[in-house]
């Protein structure tokens, strides 16, 4: 399967949830400032996700080979024990939202902008989950990210490289759909209810 980019990710901002996360109370002067910031973010935000279906080719005690890429992690291998297909993906808040956030100068508002970008990434991952469920009817889905549990960080784990060895931080050729901004890298493993495809 070719790499797919989903770039029409809905970006509603749940103000109640955002205010609660940031501990801003109703009637506070901060709430009005946060609402203005959220309106700006909503106007420019274009979160995206890039993914592909990949197949598990072999397993050993602490490694798994996916589409020719050897991933070294006992935890990952155990978690993919009954899986046959995974969906490597990168979710991003989008260059537009990142650029907007760079223009925020107030220290507190910068913190809020970061929370909005994080919300965008989380919504993008949820959107991907829904898309995979509708398009591939996978059954049970689960997720692992570099750094979760005992998986190595992106910098220390060449096993998470893709597209000819480029990591998501690579700024380069047009085969990269978005720049180095807020993003999340993860693997979605696909397991049906009976452990078969």
pLDDT mean over 73-83: 87
pLDDT at 148: 58
Mean pLDDT in residue range 57-72: 91
Tokens of residue 51, six digits = 């993914």
- The secondary structure of 87-106 as a DSSP string is EEEEEE--HHHHHHHHT--S
Could you give all domains of the chain from N- to C-terminal order, each with its CATH number?
A: 4-53+80-191 (3.40.109.40)
pLDDT of residue 178: 38
pLDDT of the residue at 139: 75
What pLDDT sits at residue 180? 37
| Per-residue model confidence (pLDDT) at position 103 | 96
- Using the predicted structure, report yes or no on whether residue 185 has a pLDDT greater than 70: no
Contact status, residue 180 vs residue 171, Cβ threshold 8 Å? yes
Task: Tell me what percent of the residues of the chain surpass a pLDDT of 90.
Answer: 55
Q: How far apart are CA 159 and CA 71, in angstroms?
A: 5
Quick one: average pLDDT of 69-76? 89
Q: Which of 65, 38, 128 is nearest to 92 (CA)?
A: 128
Average pLDDT value for residue range 29-41: 95
Is residue 7 over pLDDT 90?
A: yes
Distance, in Å, from the CA atom of 24 to the CA atom of 28, rounded to the nearest integer, reads 7
How does pLDDT run across 121-153, given as a tens digit for each residue?
Answer: 999 999 999 999 999 877 778 888 776 554 333
Say which residues have a Cβ less than 8 Å from residue 145's Cβ, sequence separation at least 6. 151, 184, 185, 186, 187
């Amino acid at each position: 399967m070719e790499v797919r980019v989903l770039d029409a990710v809905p970006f509603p901002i749940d103000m109640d949830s955002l205010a609660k996360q940031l501990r801003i109370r109703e009637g506070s002067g901060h709430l009005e400032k946060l609402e203005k910031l959220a309106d700006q973010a909503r106007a420019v935000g274009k979160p995206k996700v890039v993914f592909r279906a990949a197949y598990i080719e072999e397993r050993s005690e602490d490694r798994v080979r996916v589409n020719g890429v050897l991933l070294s992690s006992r935890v990952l291998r155990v978690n993919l024990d009954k899986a046959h297909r995974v969906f490597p993906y990168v979710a991003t808040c989008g260059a537009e939202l990142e650029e907007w956030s760079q223009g925020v100068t107030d220290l507190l508002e910068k913190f809020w902008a970061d929370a909005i970008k994080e919300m965008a990434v989380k919504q993008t991952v949820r959107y991907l989950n829904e898309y995979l469920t509708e398009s591939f009817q996978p059954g049970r889905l689960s997720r692992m990210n570099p750094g979760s549990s005992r998986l190595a960080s992106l910098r220390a784990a060449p096993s998470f490289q893709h597209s000819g060895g480029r990591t998501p931080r690579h700024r380069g050729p047009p085969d990269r759909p978005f720049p180095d901004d807020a993003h999340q890298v993860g693997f979605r493993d696909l397991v049906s209810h009976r452990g078969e495809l």
